[in-house]
Amino acid sequence: MNYKRWFVGSLILWLFVIGMAGFFFVKGWTVPSRDSRTAVALSEAERDQVLGEMRQLLKSVHGVLQGVSTQDLSGAGKSARAAGMGMAADVNPALIAKLPLTFKAMGMSVHRDFDGLADGIQSGERSEQVLKRLTELTSRCTACHELYRFSTSP
C-alpha cells in the first residue's frame, strides 16, 4: 500500500515538473514591457550574445545585397550561408530555454531560409529572385523586432 502512495506521488511530481518545463519552453522568461512588445528577461551576457547574432544576420543581409548589386553572386551566396543553420548550432541550451517559442520559431526559420537563399544563389537564381527571397526573409526580422525586446535580469 505504501508503494502505491509513493508511485502516485512520484507520478504527480513528475507530471508537474514536465508541465512546468513545457510551460517555460513555450512562454520563455518574459516580463511585462513598458511598450507593446514582450520583454524577454536575459542576463547581460545572454543579451549581448543574442544582439551579436542579430548583428551577424544584418551583416549577412548586407553581404547578399552587396553581392547582388555588384553581380558577385558567389559572394552573396557565402554571405547567406554564413547566416544559415550552422550559425545557430552552438547556442547555449539555457539561453534557448529563456526565449519564447514564437521567437525561437522565427529565428530558426530565418536561419533555414538563409540556407535556402544560399542554395538558390548556388543553383543560379536570378538577382530578382534572390531579392524576393531576401525580402520575405527580412519580413520576419522586422516582425520579431516589433514583437520582442530584451530586458536584463539580475
Read off the pLDDT of residues 31-69 as tens digits, 9 standing for 90 and up. Answer: 878 899 999 999 999 999 999 999 999 999 999 999 999
Where residue 7 falls among pLDDT bands split at 50, 70, 90? low
Of the options 1.10.287, 2.40.50, 1.10.10, 1.20.120, the CATH number for the domain spanning 29-152 = 1.20.120
* Residue environment code for 122-147, b if the CB has 16+ CB neighbours within 10 A, otherwise e: eeebeeeebeebbeebeeebeebeee
**SS3 category, 30:** strand
Q: What angle do CA 146, 152, 154 make, to 5 degrees?
A: 155
Mention every residue, 6+ apart, whose C-beta is less than 8 A from residue 22: none
Where residue 2 falls among pLDDT bands split at 50, 70, 90? confident
pLDDT in tens, 81-135: 999 999 988 788 888 899 999 999 999 999 999 999 999 999 999 999 999 999 9
pTM above 0.85, yes or no: no
